[in-house]
Structure 1
Amino acid sequence: MKLLVEILLLSVLYGAAVLLHKVITLPFPPVLTGMVLMLFLLWTGAVKPERWELSSRFFTRHMMLFLVPLVVGMMNYWPELSQGGWRLLVIIVLSTAIVLICTAWAAMMLKRGERRNDEQ
C-alpha cells in the first residue's frame, strides 16, 4: 500500500510539473520540470528522502522494463542512427562519464562533510 501511495504522489508531482509547463511554456520537457520540483521539495525539507525509499527501490529494480519501450521506439529511427549513430554513441559515453564523475565527486564531498560533523 505504501508503494502505491508513493507512486501516486510521484504522479501528482508529475501532473503539477506538466501543468506548470503548460502555464509558463518552458523550453524543456515537463519531466525535467518535475525533477526540479522534486529537488526543490527535498532541498527545502518539505519532503524527506526517506519518504521515497520504497518507490525508488521499486523503480531501480525494474528499470529495464521502463527502458525496453525506448529501445523498441528507437528501431523506428534506424536509418538515421545507422548514418550518424557514432555521434550519438560518443555523446552517450561522454555524458555518462560526466554524470559518473560528478556523482562520485558529490559523494566524496558528502562523506567529507559527514566526517567533519562526526569529529565535532
Structure 2
Amino acid sequence: MESTTSHLYGSLDMRNKTVEEVYVEMLKPRDGIRLKVQYRPEEFTKAKGLPGDSFYIRALYDRLADMEHELSFKKDDILYVDDTLPQGTFGSWMAWQLDENAQKIQRGQIPSKYV
C-alpha cells in the first residue's frame, strides 16, 4: 500500500522576498510544492496591477548602456529600482538614476541580480 503522506524536505519563507525572487523560486523544478497562504483580499486589491517591488541600490560598477531604453550609471551611483518584473519579464529591472538630492533624473532598464 502506498503512503499518501508527503514529506517536507525543506521550506522557503517567501515573506520579505521581492516579486522577482518569488518568481525565480517558482520556476525551479520540483516534484511537488505545498503552499501555505492567507486570504487577505484587502492586501490583494492594493497589490493587484502594481509593478514589481521598489528599493534603492548602490551601483558596484560602471555601466554604459548599449541600447536606447537602457540606463547608464557609474560606480557608487544610487539608483531607485521601481519595477523588478517590468511587463512581467524576468532578468532586468527598471530604475531611475538619481541626482545628489535624490531627485529622479532618467529612467531605464538595468540588469537584475539574476543576469
Short-chain TM bin: under 0.3
- Whose helix proportion is higher, 1 or 2? 1
TM-score, reference length from structure 1: 0.22
Taking structure 2 as the reference length, what is the TM-score of the superposition?
Answer: 0.23
